[in-house]
Chain A
Amino acid sequence: QSVLTQPPSASGTPGQKVTISCSGSNTNIGNSYVYWYQQFPGSAPRLLISGNNQRPSGVPDRFSSSKSGTSASLAISGLRSEDEADYYCAAWDVTLSVSWVFGGGTKLTVL
């Protein structure tokens, strides 16, 4: 059971806009930046969106994120076949101890 909750799957057709949600609590998303990662089968994850909605070099501006309260979302506009991958959200979590928490991951299928 992941601390951050994501839908296990999402899908869209080429050109569409798809949104992936990430739900947390006041101890994580509510008081921390949210980060998003993309992972292709057999490869290491890569940072897609860092805190403050910053995209690392090489990440197209079709990817964006937002946050409201204890929830966040990743939006992918102009969906392309090469966007088919697993997506994870993550954040620092501070309760009695400090930890980094991930969402369970969302498998994005481009139909």
Chain B
Amino acid sequence: QVQLAESGGGVVQPGGSLRLSCTASGFTFRRYGMHWVRQAPGKGLEWVAFIRDDGSKKHYGDSVKGRFTISRDNSKNTVSLQMNSLRPEDTAVYYCAKEIGLDVWGQGTLVTVSS
């Protein structure tokens, strides 16, 4: 069964850092690109970042460029999101999702940026 499980969410102060992880199972992880998508409370979906299957290319949304870094470890079937210089507007549920077309999503992990 194809599954994704996010972890690492929590409460952090503005300007702080947090690292999210997503562990994949049930498919050949190294063959697929991976996305992070977030959803602020009561708002729509916002794409955050994408990494190619081999990690050779990374793309970011404008609102997180220069602050967030996506990475992956194909030996551990994990994709991570390092979030620095966090702002209150980064408060959201963060989902990882699998290519092609974000066909599988995790359950999400909540990140709250607040003093």
Contacts and interface: CB of A to CB of B under 8 A. Distances in A.
Interface stretch (A13-21, A43-51, A68-76, A77-85): A43-51
Contacts of B103: 47, 50, 56
A63 interface: no
A100 B38 CA distance: 12
**Which interface residue of B46, B61, B101, B103 has the most chain A CB atoms within 10 A?**
B101
Contacts of A104: 44
B59 interface: yes
Contact of B46 (A39, A86, A97, A102): A102
A98 B59 CA distance: 6
B29 interface: no
A2 B44 contact: yes
Interface residues of B, number: 21
B107 A44 contact: yes
Interface in B37-79: 37, 44-47, 50, 59-62
Contacts of B47: 90, 99-102
Contacts of A101: 47
Contact of B45 (A37, A56, A98): A37
Contact of A105 (B37, B44, B104): B44
Nearest to B6: A44
A51 B101 contact: yes
A101 B37 CA distance: 10
Interface string B4-46: 0000000000000000000000000000000101000000111
A102 B101 contact: no
Interface of B: 35, 37, 44-47, 50, 59-62, 95, 100-108
The 4 closest A-B pairs by CB, nearest first: A105-B44, A100-B47, A44-B105, A50-B101
Given A39-B45, A99-B47, A100-B35, 7 more contacts: A2-B44, A37-B45, A44-B95, A45-B37, A45-B105, A46-B105, A102-B37
15 contacts: A2-B44, A35-B101, A35-B102, A39-B45, A45-B37, A45-B45, A45-B102, A47-B101, A88-B45, A90-B102, A99-B47, A100-B35, A100-B50, A100-B102, A102-B47
